[in-house]
Amino acid sequence: MEFIKGITFGSFALKGSFEKAAAKESLAKMKERTGADFVILVPAGMQEKAYSEEIDYTSHHTLSGEEIKEMIYYAKALGLRVALKPTVNCLDGTWRAHINFFDNEVHCEPKWSKWFKSYTDFQLHFARIAQETGCEMFIAGCEMVMSQRREAEWRKLIGDIKGVFQGLVSYNTDKYQEEHVSWWDCVDIISSSGYYPKGHWEQELDRIEKVVKKFGKPFFFAEAGCMSTAGSLHVPNDWNVKGEVDLQEQADWYQEMFETASKRDWVSGFGLWDWAWRQYHIEDADKDGGYDIYGKPAEKVVKDFYTGK
């Protein structure tokens, strides 16, 4: 598999966002400033709570099909390969990893069967868009930790996706969960979220390597990133870290990730988290403590790695 020099763009953008000129300007800037050759688009589906059975992908929380198509075609005109990763979130703020139901269905209680039917409809809607627009990859969701034990349902879902999408199919598991997915054999590419603390990369890569060798599949980090907030490099997965802006910590985290991962020939790329569809003014980069790398020292680390790869 060709190495993925990727960045996630405009994650969970609201309907109409990609219709604005700023979105295309930001995507072009992303490619120019980072050397990325791959973009991951993440339309959201919404359910009310972690135990809700219905996923809505028609509200203002979800980009319209037409604006996603237009952005995919624009990305391709820029020379970018594209992955579509439709991802479900909960309206009450509960992290999607906690979506869960009884394993034995009970009358009058929420059920896995109804949720997976809704989730399949959500995924297939975007898989058809990915096929129509010629996306190179489809990622069947992200960090659905509690659902991953439902092997039969996931295998059926992946099969249904492959019935409408002819490109590569992956699934993005969460950090520390790589060895807890029993059905990696049915996807084309294993992927996970690489939010590992600085100083821990070697041991985590040792662990992930065993999974990759067991299943004999390509692997890449479909997400990886660190905020530019002091202390984030120790808990890069925690977007609630509070502290002073520290641009160098973010750059140091990226440098270590790239240096350690480069020693492993089975790591086939990254989908860094993330690049906003509407950017702050570059003069304000030193005031931004988020994951974005625009105008920060980490941006140069990324570009040096991507253009030198």
The CATH number given to whatever domain includes residue 259 is: 3.20.20.80
pTM, 2 dp? 0.98
Write down how long the chain is: 309
**Looking at the 3D structure of the chain, how many domains does it have?**
1
pLDDT of residue 198: 97
| Cβ atoms of residues 141 and 88 within 8 Å | yes
CA distance 110 to 276: 35
Residue 14, both tokens: 């609201």
Burial (CB < 10 A; 0-12, 13-18, 19+), residue 43, is buried
Please tell me whether the peptide bond between 174 and the residue prior to it is cis, using omega within 30 degrees of 0: no
Q: Which of 110, 162, 105 has its CA nearest to residue 138?
A: 162
d(CA 138, CA 263) in angstroms, rounded, equals 27
Could you report the per-residue pLDDT of 134-143, keeping only the tens digit for each? 999 999 999 9
Closest CA to 252 of 287, 301, 291, 292: 301
CA angle 72, 75, 80 (to 5 degrees): 120
Q: Which residues contact 12 (CB under 8 A, 6 or more apart)?
A: 42, 43, 44, 61, 87, 89
Q: Are 66 and 112 in contact (CB under 8 A)?
A: no
In the chain, alpha helices (H): 21-34, 65-77, 112-133, 151-164, 201-215, 247-261, 297-308
Q: Output the pLDDT for position 135.
A: 98
The pLDDT of residue 309: 72
Is 89 within 8 Å of 81 (Cβ atoms)?
no
* Assigned token pair, 78: 């820029």
pLDDT in tens, 250-299: 999 999 999 999 999 999 999 999 999 999 999 999 999 999 999 999 99
Q: What is the pLDDT of residue 104?
A: 93
Place of tokens 């086939």: 268
Domain hosting 76: range is: 4-308
| Cβ partners under 8 Å of residue 33, min gap 6 | 294, 299, 303
Query: What whole-number distance in Å separates Cα of residue 284 and Cα of residue 290?
Result: 12
Taking 50 as the pLDDT cut, the residues of the chain under it are none
Contacts 24+ apart (CB under 8 A), 181-187: 181/148, 182/151, 183/151, 183/154, 183/155, 183/158, 184/211, 184/215, 184/217, 185/215, 185/217, 186/154, 186/155, 186/158, 186/159, 187/140, 187/158, 187/217
